[in-house]
């Protein structure tokens, strides 16, 4: 199971207050870190209630990603939707998983977060010119996205056992997302 959790954006006034208070009280926690800690506490609680399930937690640009590493779950089942909701999964993502009968996880950074506009050319290409435009855009994207990670590994919760195919899938995920490389998130 893959769970996408969006953290609420930190409002400008919250940042101003954070920096003002930080001048006086040096150990003040950043609002994003506070929200993230609250979400990770949900995983702790979920792990206590479901001790046989292992969850890997990752930080993303706008939230968190959880991968269940040792327990098969059906993306279209009501039980899975309930578990995803209890982990505060994005409601739209939960609905998509159910409708499409699959879990999804972005492996590459979003282009606009790397400083590149999204391409307007779509496959299948109408002609050679469109193919060339896309290829030029893709080369630029590959160059710019090399300096970013899609997610950052935080830690595992619960039971840490994973079957060989799942362990291999986790390695592939971590490789392509650059989860274990200290890069800015995009």
Residue 74 belongs to a domain:
yes
Q: How many domains does the chain have?
A: 2
Structure tokens at 176: 């392509």
Are 19 and 78 in a shared domain? yes
Are 158 and 170 in a shared domain? yes
pLDDT recorded at residue 31: 67
Are 114 and 157 in a shared domain? no
Structure tokens at 60: 């993303």
* pTM of the shown model: 0.84
Residue 100 belongs to a domain:
yes
Residue 118 belongs to a domain:
yes
Are 104 and 57 in a shared domain? yes
Residue 182 belongs to a domain:
no
Are 45 and 117 in a shared domain? no
Are 69 and 132 in a shared domain? no
Closest-CA residue to 103 (of 112, 94, 111): 94
At 20, give phi and psi (nearest 5°).
Answer: -65, -45
pLDDT recorded at residue 11: 65
DSSP character for 2? E
Q: How many CA atoms lie within 13 A of 11 on its CB side?
A: 3
Are 138 and 166 in a shared domain? no
Are 83 and 173 in a shared domain? yes
Are 6 and 72 in a shared domain? yes
Domain residues for 121?
110-147
Are 77 and 136 in a shared domain? no
Are 101 and 159 in a shared domain? yes
pLDDT recorded at residue 36: 87
Are 137 and 159 in a shared domain? no
pLDDT means over runs of 10, the chain (186 residues):
85 63 65 84 91 92 92 91 95 96 95 93 92 95 96 91 83 96 96
Closest-CA residue to 80 (of 60, 62, 95, 70): 95
């Amino acid at each position: 199971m893959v769970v996408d959790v969006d953290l609420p954006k930190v409002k400008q006034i919250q940042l101003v207050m954070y920096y003002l208070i930080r001048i006086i009280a040096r150990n003040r926690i950043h609002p994003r870190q506070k929200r993230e800690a609250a979400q990770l506490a949900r995983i702790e609680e979920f792990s206590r209630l479901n001790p046989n399930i292992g969850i890997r937690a990752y930080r993303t640009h706008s939230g968190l990603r959880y991968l269940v590493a040792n327990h098969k779950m059906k993306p279209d089942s009501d039980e899975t939707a309930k578990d995803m909701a209890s982990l505060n999964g994005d409601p739209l993502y939960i609905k998509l998983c159910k409708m499409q009968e699959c879990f999804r996880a972005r492996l590459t950074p979003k282009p606009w977060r790397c400083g590149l506009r999204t391409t307007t050319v779509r496959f299948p290409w109408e002609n050679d010119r469109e193919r060339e435009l896309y290829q030029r855009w893709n080369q630029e994207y590959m160059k710019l996205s090399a300096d970013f990670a899609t997610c950052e590994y935080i830690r595992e919760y619960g039971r840490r056992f994973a079957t060989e195919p799942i362990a291999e899938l986790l390695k592939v995920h971590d490789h392509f997302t650059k989860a274990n490389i200290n890069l800015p998130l995009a």
